């Protein structure tokens, strides 16, 4: 059953696209918004310090099966988000969702259906989805 919050969210977005109604404005604002998410995560590391990144080469046994690879892969994240950083990142992710919904609206696509198709794809393909 379709969740109405997706419809409500998507239907409210076009009403707020006043200055940025052009698809060109929306796609560039979407890109900027995604950069702000990345920046907020970086600031959680560099300014706040609630997170740290311990990045290094992912080492996997040559005989590991595809299913076993998840046991060897690491996110490289150490620590956890403080409440302040969590709030900022949630805000930036929300803005990114706004622009995704705006793109869907401008292209006469249903945001929920896009998400549902992606969910069905990952559910069907499982670990083979991102190969």
Question: What CATH number is attached to the domain comprising 108?
Answer: 1.10.287
The whole-angstrom separation of Cα 25 and Cα 35 is 15
pLDDT tens-digit readout, 83-98: 999 999 999 999 999 9
**Containing structural domain, residue 102:** 4-128
Residue 110: other Cβ atoms inside 10 A: 16
Asked whether the beta carbons of 81 and 50 are under 8 A apart, the reply is: yes
Residue 102: other Cβ atoms inside 10 A: 24
| pLDDT at residue 125 is higher than 80 | no
Please tell me the predicted confidence (pLDDT) of residue 101.
94
Average pLDDT over residues 16-38: 92
The whole-angstrom separation of Cα 74 and Cα 38 is 19
Count of domains in the chain?
A: 1
Asked whether the beta carbons of 82 and 50 are under 8 A apart, the reply is: yes
| pLDDT at residue 127 is higher than 80 | no
């Amino acid at each position: 059953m379709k969740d109405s919050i997706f419809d409500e969210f998507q239907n409210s977005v076009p009403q707020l696209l006043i200055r940025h109604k052009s698809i060109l404005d929306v796609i560039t604002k979407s890109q900027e918004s995604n950069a702000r998410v990345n920046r907020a995560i970086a600031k959680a590391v560099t300014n706040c310090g609630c997170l740290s990144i311990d990045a290094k080469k992912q080492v996997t046994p040559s005989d590991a099966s595809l299913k076993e690879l998840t046991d060897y892969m690491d996110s490289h994240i150490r620590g956890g988000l403080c409440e302040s950083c969590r709030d900022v990142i949630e805000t930036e992710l929300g803005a990114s969702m706004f622009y995704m919904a705006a793109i869907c609206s401008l292209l006469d696509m249903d945001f929920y259906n896009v998400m549902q198709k992606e969910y069905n794809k990952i559910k069907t393909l499982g670990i083979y989805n991102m190969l």
